[in-house]
Amino acid sequence: MERRRLLEVLVLSLGTGALASSGEPIRQLLDLTLASEDRSTEDWELACVDHLRALRTRPPAQVRDGLLIDLLALQRQLKKADTKDQPDLNRSAAALSLIMANAVTRMGAHSAAVHSWRTAKTAADASGDLHVRLMVRSEEAGCGLYGQRDIATVLTLVDKARELTPGPSSFWHADLAGTRAKALTLLGRHDEAKRELTTFVSYDGADGPATILPTLWCPDQTHFAESWVYAGAGNEAKADEARSNVLAYNGDYQYNANVRLHEALCTVANGGIDQGAQQATALLSSLPSIHRSAMISEVGRMVLRMVPLDQRDRPAVQDLRATLAATTPHATLSQL
């Protein structure tokens, strides 16, 4: 019955084109119908790190294809696992579902992402690992900023996650402050945003983000938050410094594109409407198709929303609106 179900998934995937990016995912899915060997905890943890690396460097549809294979295999292993093995397997399920949620967010499939976040939280809670539970909730709130949730909902997600933290002197409390700072910036509450940003960037405690995804947290994340908050407030000098620090790290292609859009945001915030709109349009137009992401497009919309309503009929602003319409990914059901 299990092999038959997996074959049905294969046929459905072929019919919708969901696995059409390469032949490798199809080969792996066929392997699942023929092999039943379980993987060790170490193998699953390595798979999680590999998928995270893929998320940062490859097209999101390709990441989704690979994740689908491993999530099916992990689901099968969880069904028959001993009680003692289930916490570790659930930790892996939470991490893989987190990465899936991020990947489909980049594809513009926000409903699918919300379902993946729910799966990730359920698995994290079943694992009993507080770090994993907070990791998932922190990432969910962060992705919510990119058009997935309204800002009030993001702030609620942050507040609920903070209730699980050991207290204000903990890493995850500080990490959530970074998300709260970005959300407050979007609401124009810049003084509050700066206070939250200070909580985030000044944290130097010992309880680092050691989780099943040890490479999830990178040093450029504090500089990215600084770039977002200072650009939104029109603080050009500090935004420029933060952007330079992010670009020097040479990390996720998405971070690199978005801090350049922060530059355009800051330009518009300081009154340079045409120049800022042109900067954003040039960046969005220059992105290769494999690097187009709904999370990048949403930062482009942040630039657009910064333009005063009575100035949005300017040609440069209209060009930005048209470019966003042409470059924003819109995932359809057949692509998921």
Q: pLDDT tens across 18-70, in order?
A: 444 444 554 555 555 545 578 999 999 999 999 999 999 999 999 999 999 89
pLDDT at 308 over 50: yes
Domain co-membership, 12 together with 78:
yes
pLDDT band at 204 (very low <50, low <70, confident <90, very high): confident
Domain co-membership, 188 together with 231:
no
| pTM listed for this prediction | 0.88
pLDDT band at 12 (very low <50, low <70, confident <90, very high): very low
The rounded mean pLDDT for the chain is 89
pLDDT band at 167 (very low <50, low <70, confident <90, very high): confident
Instruction: Give just the sign of the alpha carbon dihedral 40, 46, 52, 57.
Output: negative
What whole-number percentage of the chain has pLDDT above 70? Answer: 87
Determine the Cα–Cα distance for residues 135 and 149; give it in Å rounded to an integer.
18
Q: Indicate the residue type of 134.
A: L
Domain co-membership, 322 together with 225:
yes
Determine the Cα–Cα distance for residues 326 and 329; give it in Å rounded to an integer.
9
Contact 105, 297 (CB under 8 A): no
Flag whether 146 is in a domain.
yes
pLDDT at 13 over 50: no
Flag whether 176 is in a domain.
yes
Q: Residue 163: exposed, middle, or buried by beta-carbon count in 10 A (0-12, 13-18, 19+)?
A: exposed
Domain co-membership, 120 together with 59:
yes
Flag whether 20 is in a domain.
yes
What whole-number percentage of the chain has pLDDT above 90? Answer: 77
**Listed residues 88, 111, 128: the one ending a domain:** 128
Determine the Cα–Cα distance for residues 299 and 297; give it in Å rounded to an integer.
5
Q: Residue 16: its pLDDT value, please? A: 43
Domain co-membership, 184 together with 222:
no
Angle of helix 294-306 versus helix 315-327 axis, rounded to 10: 160
Residue carrying the six token digits 């991020």: 102
Q: Residue 32: its pLDDT value, please? A: 54
Domain co-membership, 29 together with 122:
yes
Domain co-membership, 93 together with 148:
no
**Listed residues 113, 128, 143: the one ending a domain:** 128
User: What is the domain extent for residue 14?
Assistant: 1-128
Q: Indicate the residue type of 145.
A: L
Q: Residue 299: its pLDDT value, please? A: 98
Contact 232, 185 (CB under 8 A): yes
Domain co-membership, 152 together with 262:
no
Q: pLDDT of 225-281, one tens digit each? A: 999 999 999 999 999 999 999 999 977 899 999 999 999 999 999 999 999 999 999
Number of structural domains the chain divides into: 3
Cα–Cα distances (Å) from 172 to 145, 157, 168, 198, 203, in that order, read 18, 13, 9, 14, 10
Domain co-membership, 58 together with 36:
yes
Domain co-membership, 15 together with 124:
yes
pLDDT band at 17 (very low <50, low <70, confident <90, very high): very low
Q: How many CB atoms lie within 10 A of CB 139?
A: 21
Q: pLDDT of 65-95, one tens digit each? A: 999 989 999 998 999 999 999 999 999 999 9
**Listed residues 161, 196, 215: the one ending a domain:** 215
Flag whether 335 is in a domain.
no
Domain co-membership, 141 together with 194:
yes
Determine the Cα–Cα distance for residues 332 and 336; give it in Å rounded to an integer.
7
Flag whether 336 is in a domain.
no
Q: Residue 211: its pLDDT value, please? A: 78
